[in-house]
Structure 1
Amino acid sequence: MNQQSRTTGTLNDLIAIARDGQEFYQDASTRIDDVELKSLFTRIAGTKATIIAELGAAVQAVGGDPEDSGTLRGSMQEMYARVRAALGDKEYSYVAELEESEDRLLHAFEDAVKDDSTPAAARSVVTRLMPEVRACHDLMRARKHAMKGAS
């Protein structure tokens, strides 16, 4: 596999996982009643859209086609969250599942940075976007723990 293909593959994997998160946040924002959480979910969906756009631009810069869909795992997690929310605390269920989605994206970014086979072009954009990914992750983790402690 050549450098361009590895760069495209690495970044497209991250795009698909970030797209899962973006779609999940958008969906969750329409299913909950808490105004503050709606606003938070909408804001994070926007952050995911920015991450997807920047990763996509990096894919195009090396001559590739950016991924335009999410993953089966992401779709299944979103469906599970809906079921979980229907059976219990709706807001907490979405926050907990979104935090899991954040874990998945953060680990994928960390793996891309640590992997010696990640091309320099991919590593550069991933490293640049890592603070935003980590901030979203930490925000949702803190929100989940705060909600868990309040119940």
Structure 2
Amino acid sequence: MNEHDKTTHTLNDLIEIARDGQEFYEEAASKIDDADLKALFTRIAGIKAAIVNELGGAVQAAGGKVETSGTAVGSMQQFYGKIRATLGDKAYGYVAELEESEDRLLEAFENAAGDRDIPVAARDIVIRLLPEVRSCHQVMRDRKRAMKHAA
């Protein structure tokens, strides 16, 4: 795989996972009654959209085609989140599944940030976005823990 293909492949993987998160947050915000959670989900969906747009710009700048869909794992996770929310505490069900979605994205970003086989310019974008990814992950992990201990 040449440098261009490696860049496009790596960044498109991140785009797919971030898009999964964006769509899942939007779905959860539309289904949840809690105003604070709705606002949080909407805010994080916006962050995911910004990440997708920035990574997409980098793919285009590298001469690649931007991925326009999410992943099968993301679709299954969103489906499982809906079932979990329907069968139990809706708010906790969504928070728990969204936190797992954050785990996937954080792991993918950390792997890409440490991948010395992708060009420096692409890795620099990943590293620049990583604090925002970590922040979203931390917010959802803390929210999940707080809800679990409150139950």
- TM-score interval for Structure 1 and Structure 2 normalised by the shorter chain: over 0.9
Q: 1:79 and 1:114 mapped to 2: Cα distance?
A: 31
Partner residue, 2:94: 94
Partner residue, 2:62: 62
TM-score by length of 2: 0.98
**Which AA in structure 1 matches 2:134?**
R
Q: 114-123 vs 44-53, which deviates more?
A: 114-123
Q: Give the count of matched residue pairs.
A: 151
Q: After superposition, what is the alpha-carbon deviation per residue over 1:19-53, rounded to whole angstroms, capped at 9, x for unaligned?
A: 00000000000111101100000000000000000
Structure 2 residue runs without a partner (length 5+): none
Would you say 1:7 and 2:7 are equivalent positions?
Answer: yes
Q: 1:10 and 1:68 mapped to 2: Cα distance?
A: 14
Q: 1:104 and 1:62 mapped to 2: Cα distance?
A: 25
Kept in 2: contact 1:95–1:143 (CA 8 A): yes
Q: 2:146 and 2:118 mapped to 1: Cα distance?
A: 36
TM-score by length of 1: 0.98
Q: 1:63 and 1:34 mapped to 2: Cα distance?
A: 43
1:66-85 aligned within 5 A: 66-85=66-85
Q: 116-125 vs 3-12, which deviates more?
A: 116-125
**Which AA in structure 2 matches 1:95?**
V
Q: After superposition, what is the alpha-carbon deviation per residue over 1:7-28, rounded to whole angstroms, capped at 9, x for unaligned?
A: 0000000000000000000000
Q: 1:15 and 1:89 mapped to 2: Cα distance?
A: 30
Q: 1:135 and 1:71 mapped to 2: Cα distance?
A: 22
Partner residue, 2:22: 22
**Which AA in structure 2 matches 1:7?**
T
Partner residue, 1:39: 39
SS at match of 2:136: helix
* Identity over aligned pairs, percent: 66
Would you say 1:148 and 2:148 are equivalent positions?
Answer: yes
Root mean square deviation, CA, Å? 0.6
Displacement over 2 Å in runs of 4+ = none
Structure 1 residue runs without a partner (length 5+): none
> By how many angstroms is 1:118 displaced?
2.2
